[in-house]
């Protein structure tokens, strides 16, 4: 499973990444990678940060997710594979 957080220029994006790191650890998956390069973020088609990508799919954009929300998204992906 590959988790990417997009954005690192504001408090919300930094918090989203921190929450994703905790959620990934709690779910036993690899730590998320943060992408802050604008060109790379645009490849995902997002218009607002923070954003969360799991296995190449944008699962959230424009809002900071809680640890619990991210864990739920991760577990849904684990269950469907």
Neighbouring-strand partners of residue 17: none
Tens-digit pLDDT profile for residues 41-55: 999 999 899 999 999
Confidence band, pLDDT 50/70/90 cuts, at residue 81: low
Domains recognised in the chain with CATH numbers: 3-80 (3.40.30.10)
What pLDDT sits at residue 51? Answer: 97
**Residue 38 CB coordination number (10 Å):** 11
| Strand-strand pairing, 57-61 and 51-54 | antiparallel
pLDDT mean over 26-52 = 94
What pLDDT sits at residue 79? Answer: 81
Say what the alpha-carbon torsion angle 17, 19, 25, 29 is, to the nearest 10 degrees: -50
């Amino acid at each position: 499973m590959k988790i990417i957080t997009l954005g690192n220029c504001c408090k919300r994006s930094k918090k989203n990444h921190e929450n994703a790191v905790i959620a990934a650890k709690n779910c036993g998956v690899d730590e998320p990678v943060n992408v802050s390069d604008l060109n790379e973020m645009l490849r995902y088609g997002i218009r607002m940060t923070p954003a969360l990508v799991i296995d190449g799919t944008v699962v959230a954009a424009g809002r900071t997710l809680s640890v619990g929300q991210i864990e739920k998204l991760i577990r849904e992906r684990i269950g469907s594979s």
